[in-house]
Structure formats: structure tokens, C-alpha cells
Chain A
Amino acid sequence: DSGVTQTPKHLITATGQRVTLRCSPRSGDLSVYWYQQSLDQGLQFLIQYYNGEERAKGNILERFSAQQFPDLHSELNLSSLELGDSALYFCASSALAGANTGELFFGEGSRLTVL
């Protein structure tokens, strides 16, 4: 158990809809990262938040947005969903004030299926 909690574990929805994925980081971790894993693809970095502020942005579509709340949990919002958005979405957290090896702790992922 990494200590990172993601909900829901599975989600099936239709094209054009909007969904919200939720992540609670490990206790004490200030940074939250979102990654997307599509079929036959590696983990694609989407966005990072640190203590409520956006820190880094990757290949995140304009239809996607995220935020980190004062209690440090984060939400990833996916709108106007397309078939190609079907993927595993992982949340990870890290303790920036701790070891500097770059290790991230991942949740179990949210599997999104768009029909």
C-alpha cells in the first residue's frame, strides 16, 4: 500500500461527458502528480501541483484541468470526453522536503472507459 488513494477505481461513461477523478496523497506529501497511461503507451505526465499551486505541466489537453485543495487532495477533471481518453489515470505524490531521489508514490489508478 503506497498510501496514495484514488477514486473511483473504474469509471465507464459516454463521449461528450465530464468526469472527475480524485486523489489523496500520502500523509505529509505536498506534491501531487497526474499521469495517463493509454494502451501500449508509457506513463505520460499530465500535471503537477505543489501545496495547492500548479508546478509543472505536461501533455495535458485543454479539455482536462486539475486542482489541489487546501487539504492537499487533488482532482483531475476531464470534459468533452472522447474515445481516445480511455486510459488508466494515475496519481502520485512525493515529499519534496525529503529525499531528493525523485521517487514518486503511485496510487492504484482510475480506469476510465469512454464508450
Chain B
Amino acid sequence: DQQVKQNSPSLSVQEGRISILNCDYTNSMFDYFLWYKKYPAEGPTFLISISSIKDKNEDGRFTVFLNKSAKHLSLHIVPSQPGDSAVYFCAARDSGGSNYKLTFGKGTLLTVNP
């Protein structure tokens, strides 16, 4: 049972345009949501996070939106740059415990074309 779902395996956008990556979840106990970016031959790196008590968090070109009623979050990248081309993983943390185990989606491959 996939608790974190990224339904789009890939996304292609033009440089300068907006990239929107989507993520759905099923577990109401998730209290933190994170986005990780992964380049080939590297480990995932943290990009941005949002607490379940907020609906928006912004960091430069990256904004994450959370819609708790729909159990949906999205990552907006504006403007998109070729260097943003990578696999983006959505992840969620279960609030039931002191550990920081994250549940990941399968990832979305973003390609930004020059």
C-alpha cells in the first residue's frame, strides 16, 4: 500500500516556465512533508519542507503548497532552470514516534529544456 504517491513519472518543461510536481498521500498521521532532489549517481538532497500546520512554504524559486483536506501537496519551481533537471521525491514523516522515518514516493523525473 503506497502511502505517498507521485503519479507522474516524468515532466518536461521549458526553461523559464513553471514546473509543478504533485504528490498525494493517504496517511493522516503525517506531520511533515519534504521534497528531495536527486541527480544521477548522487544521493537525494533535501530541497524544502512544510509542516502539516501550514499551507505554504517558500524558499527562493521553490514553493511547496499543502492541501490537507485533499491530502495533496505540490512543488512549484519558478522559473525553471536546466540545472533543476533531476528526480524529485516527495516524502512524509509519521508523527507517531520520535524517529524520523520518512516514507517516499517513487519520484518524478523533471527535465527542463533550454
Contact = CB atoms under 8 A, between A and B. Distances in A.
B109 to A, nearest CB: 11
B113 to A, nearest CB: 23
B41 A108 contact: yes
A14 interface: no
B89 A103 contact: no
Interface in A70-91: 90
Contact of B98 (A35, A43, A92, A96): A96
A98 to B, nearest CB: 10
B45 A94 contact: no
A68 interface: no
B104 interface: yes
Contacts of A105: 46
B65 to A, nearest CB: 17
Given A40-B106, A42-B104, A43-B104, A101 B99 contact: no
Contacts of B114: none
A109 interface: yes
Contact of B102 (A40, A45, A50, A55): A45
Interface residues of B, number: 27
B104 A109 contact: no
A14 to B, nearest CB: 24
Interface of B: 4, 6, 32, 34, 36, 41-46, 49, 51, 89, 91, 93, 97-107
18 contacts: A31-B100, A40-B106, A42-B104, A42-B105, A42-B107, A43-B102, A43-B104, A45-B102, A45-B103, A90-B43, A92-B43, A96-B99, A101-B49, A101-B51, A102-B34, A103-B46, A104-B100, A106-B43
Given A42-B89, A42-B104, 14 more contacts: A31-B99, A31-B100, A41-B106, A42-B106, A43-B44, A43-B91, A44-B104, A56-B97, A94-B100, A96-B99, A102-B49, A102-B93, A106-B43, A108-B42
Interface of A: 2, 4, 31, 33, 35, 40-45, 48, 50, 55-56, 58, 90, 92, 94, 96, 101-109
